[in-house]
Amino acid sequence: MTQDVHIIGGGLAGSEAAWQLGRRGFRVRLSEMRGTGERSPAHQGDGLAELVCSNSFRSDDHEKNAVGLLHEEMRRCDSLIMAAAGKAQVPAGTALAVDRDVFSAEVEARLSALPNVEIVRERIDTLPESGTTIVATGPLTADSLAGSIGRATGSDSLAFFDAIAPIVYRESIDMDVCWMASRWDKGETKDYINCPMDKDQYLAFHQALLEGEKTAFKEWEADTPYFDGCMPIEVMAERGVETLRFGPMKPVGLDNPHWATEEHPKGRWAYAVVQLRQDNKLGTLWNMVGFQTKLKHAEQVRLFRTIPGLENAEFARLGGLHRNTFINSPVLLDRQLRLKTAPHVRFAGQITGCEGYVESAAVGLMAGLMTATQLAGRDWQAPPRTTALGALLSHITGDAEAESYQPMNVNFGLFPPLHDVKKKQRKEAYTERAKHEIAPWLDSLPAG
């Protein structure tokens, strides 16, 4: 079959993209390496859309949860992944969890039933030089294709221990304790939120880092080196009690206005400072600078809430450390997920820098819809930024800060803020707004 679209990768994103195109009558060649005798180190089988970690798609609450809202929007787009999840669902309270074998089999059966979708078990080593293509090879892209992507983008593929720092919701930071400043007040703007520690607080924090429970490495991660610019904070702490004070927690040049009175017993200068840097253009999310970590999630929440000013911190993302391959999408892709230097190639799924099963499938869904719209000779209309789909797409293709771009789950910090709504009612307000504003966009999609 001569294809209209070549999709590389049969995970959640590639399968969803193939479904969106195939059910609209376009001819799709879906290439999947598994089934040729090769697998990524994380996969156990050859089925499409295999879930390699948890069997949960997280919360299904679409009234006040961002990922639940994303579920609902995808269902309204006739998502294959959400339909298969419904068929394979197992009891998990308000979460959407699935029998992973039933789920994978359902995805493959539905795609195989489309006569214009050809599933080919083959390894693709290089980016096609022509022809409409969607690359959806995930965070464990094979080395040969990753190298080809690196050459095409002019940057190295990010196949190393990707150390991710936690991200905090701005509204949960106590600014009666913290203050805005840049080191030595350089520049006209005060770019960082600063959390001060005295000596006793720092020494206790340092010891807790050493003793904190860490996540174990998976066998297939064991030989992958740390990225030099992303050393985990607990590894830095192991190098000596003063290491952090000369690294990410350096206090010099940060004059604390809350401590500026002569009678204050601590003086104006903190013993150590935790800095947070704005992580999105909306200013709703702030990144803990230098705090990439492999501490377990519960340990992170407990320990990081001992930092002055973060006692009530709410986290949009906790830190992590794992082998990952993703591209700097805000720099490399246009607003339709196309590679700027080779616009016949789109990227979808976790390789774009989204995090999570549902987010990966959602980006695959949008890549499929974009391609279908293009092949139909129509203009693409992006989903409103006030929707979960639109907020996720905007983050990947331009709202995120390119210099600190890291994988991200969908969360309300990616949505345009509703400052005039009380905090307790804000989540419901986000979902109500999204459900209202997605309706006209759904009507604009090509028929399927």
9 is an annotated ligand-binding site residue: yes
25 is an annotated ligand-binding site residue: no
13 is an annotated ligand-binding site residue: yes
Write phi, then psi, for 364 (nearest 5 degrees).
-65, -40
253 is an annotated ligand-binding site residue: no
309 is an annotated ligand-binding site residue: no
Chain centroid to CA 134: how far? 19
12 is an annotated ligand-binding site residue: yes
Annotated binding site: 9-14
Annotated binding site for FAD: 9-14
